Amino acid sequence: MSRQDDRSPAERAAELRAALHHHAHRYYVLDEPEIPDAEYDRLFQELQAIEEAHPELRTPDSPTQRVLGRVLDGFTPVRHAVPMLSIRTETDTEDSGAVAFDARVRRELGLAADAPPIAYACELKFDGLAINLRYEHGVLVQAATRGDGETGEDVTQNLRTVNQIPLRLAGCDAPVLEVRGEVYIRRDDFEVLNERQRELIAQGHKNEKTFVNPRNAAAGAVRQLDPAIAAKRPLSFFAYGLGEVQGWDQPATHSKTMDALEAMGLPVNRERQVVKGADGLVEYHRAIGARRDALPFDIDGVVYKVDDLALQRRLGFVTREPRWAVAHKYPAQEQMTVVRDIDIQVGRTGKLTPVAKLEPVFVGGTTVSNATLHNEDETRRKDVRIGDTVIVRRAGDVIPEVVGVVLERRPAEVSAPFDLYQRLKGRCPVCGSDIVREEGEADWRCTGGLFCAAQRKQAILHFAQRRAMDIEGLGDKLVEQLVDHGIVRTLPELYKLGVAKLVELERMGEKSAVNLIAGLEKSKQTTLARFLYSLGVRHVGEATAKDLARHFGSLDRVLDASIAQLLEVPDVGPIVAQSIRTFFDQPHNREVVEQLRAAGITWAEHDGEADRTPKPLAGQTFVLTGTLPTLSREEAKELIEAAGGKVAGSVSKKTHCVVAGAEAGSKLDKARELGVMVIDEQGLRALLERV
């Protein structure tokens, strides 16, 4: 954009201000920017430069004047021209709450039963902080909190930093227009804010803290004495009403008034809706309730307002509440309660999760007495201790969680900061095995995979799967029953199962029982790689198990391998080596391995590294696609691996060869695209025979 210098600085400044107001509205309120951020910055800087050179051109509504205050000692009281009232809250969260409001309104208006339904303006009840914005001749001159309704506090300099709040109204220069609404923080902004706070705390900023919820963070920001800090808090705003009005022709309904405010550039929430009668209210309450968790900000209910302002006037007020409006709540998603204890649960995979045992509390529609603390870091970050009063949140179907501690309520004799290792004395609470926390991981884990009762089902299913011991007939449901009835507690006990015990189980006929026993018998003849994989050592997948088997050649050598020796295995790094060592260092795991061997599991052992079968495909990666004429996927894979090759799931530049069968799909296309060699089953067999 070229600058036309025949215009005076005053004209150019006015033009820039108008452009910046327009683009700020598009960006912050409508979320539909028309120009790139860099262009906005350029216009902004041009205006700043003009104002530097001509300070007399600076106006209070200039976009450059958003952050201009100094640190305050306190806030100045503001007497509201029109009191800021609150509304009656319907605590009955069911449909009947809406029906009761409509009945009350009709009764107070003296309407006959057959009179037409009343039109209501329905809105969300934002969970933030009420604010009065005073515009004089279209320019924002003051922002005040609600206070006691009569007198609030002057928070103008903080609210000026909220980009969504226009410093000048579009197309309105009424002498006085007070706009009322809610300042709040969006959930995503809240997460970012807390993340930043955590970083500050980690950097040693002692006065910083994380916020328990968006409402508290918003309230803190509005009442922040340093406007520079307030400016860094991601506040948003929705208008929902008016205060004092002079010289503005207000439309005849609340909904039209909101439309007019929206046209002036104020943010007004789009979920508002005009409905008819009690049925309309109920429908709105239900519809919003169903979407509550998907909204980008917290609400604690909806608000119904009689739409017609003439009717509003007829209804008037009782004490300090209008008769024409009501807040209809949803069940609270957050409640305060006390932490009685912190338990540590062992998951199916051995993950240790700290769980707060709570004084039971009704939240999110159910009574909650346990809430997850996720992991040790999270517990320390929130500094949750036994005896603390905490805020518990249960939103939708999500498991209840502790969002934060109410530090003001911390008793003098509170327990020490949470330390998972110390708490458990380093032992799994279920099986007594060592617990470990690997570098870079958030979770502590039990290492007693084969022995730990908490991990039994998972361990057995893993052991039995096709790629492991391949025990035919031992599926999900059966494992569930065997463990729940206490028939199988450890893997070796599988091999002690008899038909008589099995037929007692649900849906287990004699034939299935006999088949299972046969499946178990058959599984005993396996390979070292399969056996190693079946143990479920953390980080030891199929490929690593094969590498280990190939490298060490015998189980005893694997069991006794030092970290240094393990590191010699291709693709085994320090974390995997440590995990293998820790696993076999647990006497319980060792015992299980011995019992399995004693049960008759065998494989052909190699003596040491003397695996002398030819390896024509050593170091080559293959990808299988489509259906081969005689070999199954599994068989082809085994042949390739036996010849020293690897089989990968997808084609890349590193793939040596793609083996394609009938109906090969995208992998074949990809191979052609990358120029990777493509062969068929016959070609594969030829490669395998080439010694």
Q: Where does this chain bind ligand IVH (CB under 6 A)?
A: 85-87, 123, 125-126, 130, 182, 240-241, 303, 322, 325, 327
Smallest distance, Å, CB 389 to ligand IVH? 24
Catalytic residue among 125, 305, 637, 646: 125
Going along 9-138, which residue ranges are E strands?
A: 77-79, 88-90, 119-126, 129-136
Smallest distance, Å, CB 396 to ligand IVH? 21
CA 262/CA 251 separation, integer angstroms: 13
Residue (149 or 665) nearer to ligand IVH, CB: 149
Structure token pair of residue 277: 């009668």
CA 385/CA 67 separation, integer angstroms: 40
- R_g of the chain computed on alpha carbons: 35
β-bridge pairing 351-363 and 151-153: unpaired
Closest CA to 241 of 87, 463, 451: 87
Residue (325 or 436) nearer to ligand IVH, CB: 325
Closest CA to 131 of 163, 167, 179, 165: 179
Who's near 593: CB < 8 A, 6+ residues apart? 450, 535, 555, 559, 584
Closest CA to 98 of 280, 312, 270: 280
Q: Backbone phi, then psi, for 52, in 5-degree steps?
A: -65, -45
Residue (255 or 353) nearer to ligand IVH, CB: 255
Smallest distance, Å, CB 109 to ligand IVH? 18
Residue (102 or 388) nearer to ligand IVH, CB: 102
Smallest distance, Å, CB 303 to ligand IVH? 4
Contact 553, 504 (CB under 8 A): no
CA 293/CA 333 separation, integer angstroms: 10
Q: Backbone phi, then psi, for 21, in 5-degree steps?
A: -60, -45
Smallest distance, Å, CB 240 to ligand IVH? 4
CA distances from 579 to 350, 426, 473, 576 (A): 13, 16, 31, 5
DSSP, res 414: P
CA 103/CA 114 separation, integer angstroms: 13
Q: Is 496 a catalytic residue?
A: no
Residue (177 or 361) nearer to ligand IVH, CB: 177
Structure token pair of residue 413: 């004799």
Smallest distance, Å, CB 125 to ligand IVH? 4
CA 157/CA 306 separation, integer angstroms: 34
Q: Backbone phi, then psi, for 528, in 5-degree steps?
A: -60, -40
Structure token pair of residue 324: 């024409």
Smallest distance, Å, CB 321 to ligand IVH? 8
Structure token pair of residue 556: 């005893």
Smallest distance, Å, CB 359 to ligand IVH? 29
Which DSSP string corresponds to 422-438? HHHTTB-TTT--BEE--
Smallest distance, Å, CB 272 to ligand IVH? 8
Residue bearing tokens 């199929």: 542
Helices 95-108/277-291 angle, 10° precision? 150
CA 274/CA 578 separation, integer angstroms: 65
Residue (182 or 547) nearer to ligand IVH, CB: 182
Residue (241 or 354) nearer to ligand IVH, CB: 241
Contact 462, 468 (CB under 8 A): yes
Closest CA to 233 of 259, 265, 258, 211: 211
Smallest distance, Å, CB 101 to ligand IVH? 14
Residue (126 or 495) nearer to ligand IVH, CB: 126
Smallest distance, Å, CB 102 to ligand IVH? 18
CA 166/CA 60 separation, integer angstroms: 12
Residue (85 or 141) nearer to ligand IVH, CB: 85
Q: How many residues does the chain have?
A: 691
Residue (123 or 388) nearer to ligand IVH, CB: 123
Residue (300 or 401) nearer to ligand IVH, CB: 300
Contact 424, 447 (CB under 8 A): no
Residue (241 or 645) nearer to ligand IVH, CB: 241
Cα dihedral 648, 654, 660, 663 sign: positive
| Three-state helix/strand/coil letters over 215-264 | HHHHHHHHCCCCHHHHHCCCCEEEEEEEEEEECCCCCCEHHHHHHHHHHC
Which DSSP string corresponds to 345-368? EE-TTSEEEEEEEEEEEEETTEEE
Smallest distance, Å, CB 85 to ligand IVH? 4
Residues known to be catalytic: 125
